[in-house]
Amino acid sequence: MQKLVAIDLDGTFLNENYTISSLHADTVKKAQKKGAQIVIATGRAQFDVQRLFHDQDLSAWVIGANGATTYDPDGTLTLPLPLKTVYAKEIVRWLAEENYYFEIVTDKEIFITSNAKQLLEDEMDIVQQADKEEMKKAKERQLGQANMKEIDDYMRVFQAEKDIYKVTIVSFDEERRRVAADTLGKNDLNLYSSADFNMEIVDGQASKGHALKKLANKLDIKKDDIIAIGDSMNDLPMLEAAGTKVAMGNATDEVKEACDYTTDTNEENGVATMLEREILKRKD
């Protein structure tokens, strides 16, 4: 029976240096040769995932932007769920007025305003309650994404009539993140956190779980034949959609409690351990 394996990216498939280990890459390729359908499910944009794939010559389905996009292994967008324009405008207008760092994510680029980098630097200088080294790593992660473009005025994105799949907020100030969540939260929107210090806003129907169910239906794969593995709270909808739920060794306690078992950490190649158990060593 064909299996569909959904794998989270940061904290799961990636190590602490935000790269894919050769063991993880090789084990995925072996699982694919055995007939498994592999999907990377992440808050990142698909083109950023492809940048990571390139070094290891990988190809897979990609659920990006926390379920707002799904791409086939050839890179074709198949199941889009863009933000409603009226909501996207409200969100970015408020963020700009309140001097938040934010990213506007389309299917081709990540747009930031020309003062965005300085906003992150200013927060790092002001905020005392967060670890300085962790803030530095978070800043490098955000600014190291693929296809980032600076613009003078965020309205240029709307004038170009581009579909917006996600707006990402990064703040090192816990209170500012809470205020943003309280202000921008709506019934027609989903808010996720996929990394320290960030918040991601997508369409209300978008989640890794919803996208995984639609992909499974497209591939005619039943829930019992879906395996999902993750480490963070935004992985819970994806794990709920799977017949076999696996937590990383570095997962939060809530994720571990929701799963059938816990594998090794991302630094210990926990995805490879899971694929060996669930795909490569199985006789069926």
pLDDT for 75 beyond 90: yes
| Residue 26: how many other CB atoms lie within 10 Å | 13
What's the pTM?
0.92
Q: What is the pLDDT at residue 284? A: 63
pLDDT tens for residues 232-261? 998 999 999 999 999 999 999 999 999 999
pLDDT for 129 beyond 80: no
- The secondary structure of 42-92 as a DSSP string is -SS-HHHHHHHHHTTT---EEEEGGGTEEE-TTS-B-S--PPPHHHHHHHH
Nearest 5°: phi and psi at 242? Answer: -100, 150
> For a pLDDT cut of 90, what percent of the chain falls above it?
83
| Residue 118: how many other CB atoms lie within 10 Å | 12
HEC per residue, 124-176: HHHCCCCCHHHHHHHHHHHHCCCCEEEECCCHHHHHCCCCCCEEEEECCCHHH
For each of the domains in the chain, give its residue range(s) and CATH number, in order of start. Answer: 4-81+207-280 (3.40.50.1000), 85-203 (3.30.1240.10)
> For a pLDDT cut of 70, what percent of the chain falls above it?
100
Q: What is the pLDDT at residue 4? A: 98
Question: Which of the pair, 136 or 258, is modelled with greater confidence?
Answer: 258
pLDDT band, very low/low/confident/very high, at 124 (cuts 50, 70, 90): confident
What token pair was written down for 5? 């394996």
On average, the pLDDT of the chain sits at 94
Q: Which amino acid is at 197?
A: F
> For the chain, how many helices (H) and strands (E)?
11, 13
pLDDT for 1 beyond 80: no
- Nearest alpha carbon to residue 35 among 71, 3, 79, 67: 3
pLDDT tens for residues 183-224? 998 879 999 987 779 999 999 999 999 999 999 999 999 999
Q: What is the pLDDT at residue 107? A: 94
- By annotation, the residues acting in catalysis are 8
- Nearest alpha carbon to residue 48 among 15, 71, 80: 71
pLDDT tens for residues 46-71? 999 999 999 899 999 999 999 999 99
Residue 80 CB-density burial (10 A; 0-12 exposed, 13-18 middle, 19+ buried):
middle
Look at residue 110 and give its three-state secondary structure: strand
